[in-house]
Chain A
Amino acid sequence: MLQPEIIEFLASTTPQILAKNIPVTENRESKRHDIQQKAEAGEEKAVSPFEFRPQRLRFAVEDEYFEDGDINRHMYLQNIVTSFVDDKQPPTISEFRCHIAGCKQLFDTLEGYEHHYNALHRNVCSNCKRSFPSNRLLEIHILEWHDSLFQIMAEKQCMYECLVEGCGLKFKTSKERKDHLIRTHSYPADFRFDKSKKIGRTTEKKTQQKKDAHMEVSATVLQQESSESMDFSLTPEPVETEPMQAANLKPRYSYKVPSSICFGQGSVRGFRGRRKK
């Protein structure tokens, strides 16, 4: 049924013929209509019933015209078993350890190592060796923790940037940001990547924002107590304990966090980094 010249035409690599270069004869349609209308007028006849005009048709997403194609699409989505591409039969190699100092996790596949490295060693703060899940969170951390100018500026203007990308709002304190995250973005009250930062602040900048600090640390201490035994065994790094000086402070926020909720079963330490003291 297919014409060979069409196949050939399609296979040509460059557009041989552009639509605008095709010889076009003048559209005499209007002239024809004029003549007819004159004729009709002469005969005192009704207007021609013919109304065909070339028109581009538009169909909306939910139009019935699209039903069959949509069904085909969803059969594809539902029928098909896909696979983790990177997971297919990873080439086995002899076991090796992560070369990052203090890590020493064992690997027997390159994929596993790649994932481990990307997840834990890619976005690491060079100052305090904390690791972050994304570059953005790392940048916010560096700014808020290690930029001496930041604290000075923060006293004058809103400097704590919302963690949600694209939000762009800034706040006076990290607590205000937290409230904003919970209220506006329906974040959980115990969002870890926010919390860990504030914990860090308590240890480093105890003088400032003391009130805030107390709350954070006390919450963490609670979790650590409940989860340490379960979780810490696996993590390969030397376990260090958070400075406990805040533990004796009034746990103002702790009531909000039931002891059953363990921010990652003690893995709080996870993104707080491995500081060797």
Chain B
Amino acid sequence: MWRLKTIHHKASASASDLEEFKRKRREFEKALRQARKDRQLVSKRLLQNDVEEEEKEEEESMETCFTFLSSEQVKEMIRGVQMGGEEKAARLASLRKALRNPENQLAFIKSENSMHMLIGQLSAHNAQCQLEATRCLHQLSHSSHPSVSQACVPAGPYLLTYLSSQSTQLTEVCLYTLGNLCPDNAAVREKLLAQGIVSALANCIHNQRYNLAVVEAFGFTLSQLLQAKDATEKIIPAVMASGIVPHLISALTPDPEFGFGPAIECSWCLHYLVSSSLDNSMLIAHGALSHCSAVLIALGGAVAKGNPQDGLELLIWPLLRCLGNLLASGGDVIPEDTRLLAALCVFAQIYLHLHPALSRESLWTLNNLTAGSSGFCSGLLLLNMVPILIQFLSFSGGINSMALRVLGNIAHHGPEYCVGLTQAGLLSALCATLKMADPEVVTLSLEVLYMLVSSNPQGVEEFTRLNGIPLLEAIQYNNEGEQRVRAAYILDHHFPSFSEVESL
């Protein structure tokens, strides 16, 4: 939870900064969206030594740790470490601070022998120097400059070796460093794969599964690997065969003391695995479906109780995707617990304004859950959740069309279900959606309307009473052929008196 607190800390800038903060955030978001379109969305993660240390340094800042050093000064620092003596670890630490400055990073990698010096310290027999050298590498791996992170590549085999180290601190930094190096380019990835990164990760998580900081770092690194463009061909099969999966799945349950970090990272990994594959029976056999459901129910309970913690959506999001795609690609295995219905409805409601896309994905998962499952469809009626679904019909952006699909799933089960939907007031809501501009929404509304009026006379009466017929008549003049045909069909078959009136 410490991690989620930091979000809060970052967001709670003073009021005057708020506008500036929002503007920056929007620009940042725009850049990320473009990167995603280009399939180049890559993130690196930087571990700071200590939040307090960080703040203190930011105050005294610019002069010490962020100052630009001449290449001569950088060389001097490298020599300083080599001469080292008793203060070698301290000198490495100050080198790490100097390396926060991108200019210094470039100067460092251009200096002769610099990387050999670091790798030497990395493999040396002084534990503190080893750790500091790894932190220096980590700082370099965070650089967005391709040549800087490229320079770290020779350290690969050592970083991989230390994944099976008994020192969790060291393992954690190595993991984040490797995670930062992975996405840079295909050549680096190839190299790390050849050096056995997948089995090193598998071994690491097996040994350190009880250390949550390492589990989180492991999840981050694996997620970086799995996001590679070429992951489907080589990386994913290797990961599936490595024995990592059971560990990923058991890490989905967040630890109340440590916080959500490890579960977030691991559920994103699972999402990348699930959504890249058409057959997920192996993941389901390992319990992916039941674990995702159980965690989502627990989170639903937490969200429903009020004031959901900031950042909870970071975990809900990937879990929803796992569940949604597992349902779509796992054959006929579906969860049993109907509380899942309530949890999905709660997410869709709570995040409707804050994260509409999350709301939409909740409804998508609900659609996959109810499609073809009479039990869950009955559950929605029995638990009186149809009115909630009806509320979503007024929201655009894919929310109302997905809600219509869920309602359609219910109606498709036959007249009893249609009566239930009619009694919940669906017809009047459909009168509103029939007027909407989105062709998908109108078509789906016509489909659902057809099921309601064709299966029970009550529906016909009610729709007439609600003055819905003029809406259908209006659609007959619509541009969209699909809509015209459907509207005409309903009028012809179920409201013959009106269509006759019309034709007379």
Distance, CA A65 to CA B60, complexed state (A): 45
Interface residues of B in 434-450 (CB under 8 A from A): 444, 446-448, 450
Distance, CA A166 to CA B198, complexed state (A): 8
Interface residues of A in 118-142 (CB under 8 A from B): 118-120, 122-123, 131, 133-137
Contact for A54 among B45, B158, B409, B414, CB less than 8 A: B409
Check B489–A50 contact: CB distance below 8 A. yes
Taking the complex as formed, is A99 at the interface, i.e. its CB lies under 8 A from any CB of chain B? no
Check A67–B86 contact: CB distance below 8 A. no
Which single residue of chain A is at the shortest CB-CB distance from B153?
A186
A28 to chain B, nearest CB (A): 4
Check A115–B131 contact: CB distance below 8 A. yes
| Segment with Cβ contacts to B, from A145-153, A202-210, A228-236 | A228-236
Interface residues of B in 299-348 (CB under 8 A from A): 300-301, 304-305, 311, 313-314, 317-318, 321, 324-325, 327-329, 334-339, 342-343, 345-346
Taking the complex as formed, is A71 at the interface, i.e. its CB lies under 8 A from any CB of chain B? yes
Which A residues are in CB contact (< 8 Å) with B271? 61
Taking the complex as formed, is B361 at the interface, i.e. its CB lies under 8 A from any CB of chain A? yes
Taking the complex as formed, is A94 at the interface, i.e. its CB lies under 8 A from any CB of chain B? no
Check B194–A83 contact: CB distance below 8 A. no
Distance, CA A51 to CA B443, complexed state (A): 10
Which A residues are in CB contact (< 8 Å) with B7? 76, 79-80
Distance, CA A36 to CA B391, complexed state (A): 32
Distance, CA A81 to CA B356, complexed state (A): 26
Which B residues are in CB contact (< 8 Å) with A7? 301, 304-305, 346
Check A87–B371 contact: CB distance below 8 A. no
Q: Digit string of A5-40 for contact with B (CB within 8 Å is 1, else 0)?
A: 111011110011111111111111100100010000
Which single residue of chain B is at the shortest CB-CB distance from A111?
B169
Interface residues of A in 142-186 (CB under 8 A from B): 164-167, 184-186
Q: Digit string of B50-92 for contact with A (CB within 8 Å is 1, else 0)?
A: 1110100000000000000000000000000011111010000
Given contacts A164-B199, A265-B82, are A82 and B45 in contact (CB under 8 A)? Answer: yes
Taking the complex as formed, is A277 at the interface, i.e. its CB lies under 8 A from any CB of chain B? no
Distance, CA A83 to CA B138, complexed state (A): 13
Taking the complex as formed, is B186 at the interface, i.e. its CB lies under 8 A from any CB of chain A? no
Interface residues of B in 331-374 (CB under 8 A from A): 334-339, 342-343, 345-346, 349-350, 355-358, 361, 364, 367-368, 370-374
Distance, CA A254 to CA B199, complexed state (A): 32
Interface residues of B in 19-66 (CB under 8 A from A): 25, 28-29, 32-33, 36, 39, 41, 43-52, 54
Given contacts A69-B321, A81-B46, are A231 and B84 in contact (CB under 8 A)? Answer: yes
Instruction: Please classify the interface of chain B as helix (H, G, I), strand (E, B), loop, or mixed, using the class held by over half of its residues.
Output: helix
Check A22–B379 contact: CB distance below 8 A. yes
A124 to chain B, nearest CB (A): 11
Check B451–A74 contact: CB distance below 8 A. no
| Segment with Cβ contacts to A, from B116-124, B281-289, B421-429, B457-465 | B116-124
Which A residues are in CB contact (< 8 Å) with B161? 133-134, 137, 193
Taking the complex as formed, is A255 at the interface, i.e. its CB lies under 8 A from any CB of chain B? no
Which B residues are in CB contact (< 8 Å) with A29? 412-414
Which single residue of chain B is at the shortest CB-CB distance from A82?
B47
Check A2–B346 contact: CB distance below 8 A. yes
Taking the complex as formed, is A248 at the interface, i.e. its CB lies under 8 A from any CB of chain B? no
Contact for A75 among B32, B170, B278, B416, CB less than 8 A: B32
Taking the complex as formed, is A213 at the interface, i.e. its CB lies under 8 A from any CB of chain B? no
9 A-B pairs with the lowest CB-CB distances in the bound complex, closest first = A166-B199, A270-B125, A68-B357, A267-B124, A19-B375, A134-B164, A264-B120, A58-B328, A54-B371
* A-B contact sample (12 more), CB < 8 A, given A6-B385, A86-B169: A28-B414, A52-B450, A54-B370, A57-B368, A58-B325, A82-B46, A131-B125, A133-B161, A133-B162, A134-B166, A136-B164, A187-B195
Q: Which residues of A contact B (CB under 8 A)?
A: 1-3, 5-7, 9-12, 15-29, 32, 36, 48-62, 65-89, 111-112, 114-116, 118-120, 122-123, 131, 133-137, 164-167, 184-188, 191-193, 227, 230-231, 233-235, 260-265, 267, 269-271
30 A-B residue pairs with Cβ-Cβ distance under 8 Å, sorted by A, are A1-B391, A6-B342, A9-B339, A10-B297, A10-B343, A12-B339, A25-B378, A27-B414, A29-B412, A49-B485, A56-B372, A61-B275, A62-B39, A69-B361, A77-B44, A77-B45, A78-B28, A80-B3, A81-B6, A89-B50, A112-B127, A115-B169, A116-B128, A118-B165, A135-B166, A166-B196, A185-B196, A193-B123, A234-B84, A267-B126
